[in-house]
A and B are shown apart, each in its own frame.
Chain A
Amino acid sequence: MTTIETFDNDFENKWCPGCGNFPILLAMKQAFADQGLSPRDILLVSGIGQAGKTPHFLHCNMLHALHGRALPAATGAKIANSDLNIIVNSGDGDCYGEGGNHFLSAIRRNIDITLIVHNNMVYGLTKGQASPTTVMGMPTPIQPGGTMSSPFNPLTLALTQGAGFVARGFSGKTVQLAQLIAQAMAHKGFSMIDVLQPCVSFNRLNTLRWYKERVYDLENTDHDTTSLAMAMERSHEFEEKIPLGILFQKETPTFHDRVEHLSGPPLISHDYDRDAVAKALF
């Protein structure tokens, strides 16, 4: 039996008061406790940014990777040991900007890990520059006349690339978010949740209130999570209303199912067989 407190640690949290990361952290702990997991069962992998610090505030195993590189680091770890329960914490800059190529490839590999993208649509750690998901025209200290590029749509992109679990969460709805995280972890294959969150310090446009006025639950609609067409349509909703929940889910063979020596016991579990190696090599 584990509880939220099981995952608490005493490392001083350095996020701004009111940061949207706090409810995400809470939802993660809730999801782990609900599944009866212990700290020893979990490997959090993260990149750089405020979201990348998440594993530091949670009692469990951790691989804190470089900017944008959480997904390949997690992929390597999962290849070595398929027993690992890996959750990746990344942000909009980390995952969709610096790590964009890795995001595409993780989807294509269908590696069995869960990606949580803390999407506050701005760069927080570096103080307010535009991120890939920043709304076009939003002024920033570096782009005072407003950003000039159209925003990156992670959900549509993930769907077009064949992602098998695509969901959107919101830091203002932690109960739902905890459920989504548990569902994503239960999904066999690559699962992603783009979590909308306010940045109280640097995003004056997409505030908690701004989100609350727009979000609605897909669960309360006729949305069919097995329909790619419906998911694609919902993935484009943003300005007026924003769908929350699972947009699309479909299990297909995972990377480990497809690759020889990965579908069985973990790669690291095999003993070194000197005779077999010698016979093969010489």
Chain B
Amino acid sequence: MTTDLTLKIGGEAGQGIQTIGTLLGEVCHGAGLFTFSVDDFESRIRGGHNFNLLRISDAPLTAMGNRIDILVAIDQKTLALNRENLSDTAVCILNSSAREESTPSTLHLPVAALAKEAGNVITANTVAAGAALAIMGAPFSLLKAVLMERFSAKGDRIVDLNVTAAQMGYDAAQGIRLTKTLDWNGKKGDRTLMTGAKAAALGAIASDCRFFSFYPMSPATGIISNVVPFSKTLPLVVEQAEDEIAAVTMALGASFAGARSLTTTSGGGFCLMTEALGHAAISETPLVIINAQRPGPATGMATRTAQADLLFAIQASQDDFPRFVFAPSTPGATFELTKKAFTLGEKYQVPVILLMDQYLTTTRTTQEPFPDLAEPGTFIITQDDMDAPETYKRYQFTESGVSPRALPCMGNALVRVLGNEHDEAGHITEDPEIRVRMMDKRNAKLAAMKAEMQRPVLAHPESKTLLVCWGSPGGVVQEAGERLRDQGFDLGWMVFEELWPMDGEQIKTMIENKTLILVEQNSTAQLGKLIAQETGIKSTLSILKYDGRPFFPDYIMDKAKEIIA
């Protein structure tokens, strides 16, 4: 029997909500427990209502928890907003200024006063973390170790201050215990805590990406923030461009000259990048773009989550050209698919779009160690590979559609790339025959590209009803599916991560004669439309959520039951 509990820490922006959640997560992680946490914040620096949701278990987790076991309410609003979601055995920590009498289910904790008593009001978050851990039954030594590691760079005085503050919160909660108990004697081993944003950064660096260009935009900036610490030790450059057009164009220019490049943005920035997407396509220059989606159109909701750019990503920019579109479902998959994006982009000389979202970039979860790194390999030819470099043609017609790619100014082979339709040598042409041959050459890559695609995960293929999703809800759908099966519902689930180019015939064999329920974070079931387009199988059932908030397992379960019933 596993133990599984959920904490929610709520308060105003600027009150350090994320800090408390991070501290608690690290303590649990250090004790070998599995955690899954998400931040929920408004597009403001002060005020409002923000929260961190932290789920802890002794078994691996794939989604957030629904019912709150411990509520840490730093402001008044938090209790009022969350009362209905408290579990029957929940304990609340309320930030009180007055010394009110605590009960077994409510701890009145004068956070600021205790912090001041510890030496500085700035340690208020540490006081709250101490209290929450006491209620969970964690030994104080674990919190102390995390604080020492976290603050050691700032000197002994800051370490002592925080340890004192933590102890005050911890002591204040003595006598109040959650009925659920966790084993605190485990070890984390090689496991780490990983966010989607960090996994994307690591995946790119592991792929030998040398150049990162971006324009700040939520929720994509976190990916670049995670690259920056490595720019001291590894040969890579991060450049904040003047706008998204420059960011993507710089990446294109750097890629053309031989540096693997990544640009990151959200939907609005991706709109600006579509012109360069087309340029990458016609010039056959590898380019990896991460679009961390948020609700739109236009500015939409800056700090919220969505999956509404799928059809846009697949069709963005004018005319037709081959591209890859991937949407990882977890931080671990993000690492792997980012690597695959770089490899395939180089191999086929096409743009690759990774669709993430606010939920995935900020999800922090326990990650098993990544596999050993492989050499990234090269798909570039040099003068030594050519019989007659003087006659090199960048767009030489080949059966596969892939022309040998050389770099500019690296020998006698002149490299000429462009955004106009062109002949093999890279000269502008309007010749109708060459135009058709060049389009056909680029499109010829599609067959091999399709063969590179990993088919979607299909759990319980024998079931006649499938929950079908793509990208970040994958883990939530999995938990919902497992729990529905436990309750006696016969259904399976299907998670698409490698979306485009889609092998319609293959997908058709997986879904034929089944009832599909599309589970997506957009208002029109975009994956459903895509499946219909590629397989001819039209689905009308769906669980759609486009309020800017992520799916919870219970939500999917409730909606699925309504549909099945």
Using a CB–CB cutoff of 8 Å, the interface residues on chain A facing chain B are: 11, 39-43, 45, 53, 55-56, 59-66, 69, 72-81, 83-85, 101-102, 104-105, 259-262, 267-268, 270, 272, 274, 276-278, 280-282
Contacts and interface: CB of A to CB of B under 8 A. Distances in A.
Contacts of A83: 409
B256 A76 contact: yes
A138 to B, nearest CB: 29
Given A56-B427, A261-B236, A267-B210, 11 more contacts: A66-B276, A76-B252, A77-B408, A79-B250, A81-B257, A84-B409, A102-B245, A260-B237, A262-B237, A267-B259, A268-B257
B249 interface: yes
B373 interface: yes
Nearest to B423: A11
A276 to B, nearest CB: 7
Contacts of A277: 205-206, 208, 234, 373
Contact of A65 (B247, B261, B415, B419): B419
B243 interface: yes
A125 B440 CA distance: 29
B237 A259 contact: yes
8 contacts: A61-B409, A64-B420, A69-B275, A69-B279, A76-B252, A84-B408, A277-B206, A281-B373
Given A59-B414, A276-B233, A280-B230, A76 B375 contact: no
A62 B279 CA distance: 14
B417 A62 contact: yes
Interface in B182-231: 202, 205-206, 208, 210-211, 213, 230-231
A37 to B, nearest CB: 11
B255 interface: yes
The 3 A-B pairs of least Cβ separation, nearest first, read A76-B253, A80-B259, A64-B418
Interface size class of B (residues with CB under 8 A): 35 or more
Contacts of B210: 80, 267-268, 270
Contact of A43 (B243, B408, B426): B408
Contact of B245 (A11, A60, A63, A72): A72
A114 B113 CA distance: 62
Interface of B: 202, 205-206, 208, 210-211, 213, 230-237, 239, 241-243, 245-247, 249-259, 261, 275-276, 279, 369-370, 372-373, 375-376, 407-409, 411-412, 414-420, 426-428
A234 to B, nearest CB: 28
A107 B186 CA distance: 57
Nearest to B406: A61
Contacts of A261: 231, 235-237
A265 B228 CA distance: 21
Nearest to A38: B412
Given A41-B409, A42-B409, A65-B279, A56 B428 contact: yes
A157 B411 CA distance: 38
Contacts of B250: 72-73, 75-76, 79
Given A64-B418, A77-B256, A80-B257, A281 B242 contact: no
A74 B415 CA distance: 15
B249 A66 contact: yes
A259 B239 CA distance: 9
A276 B233 CA distance: 9
Contacts of A42: 409
Given A11-B427, A73-B253, A76-B257, A272 B233 contact: no
Contacts of A63: 253, 256, 408, 417-418
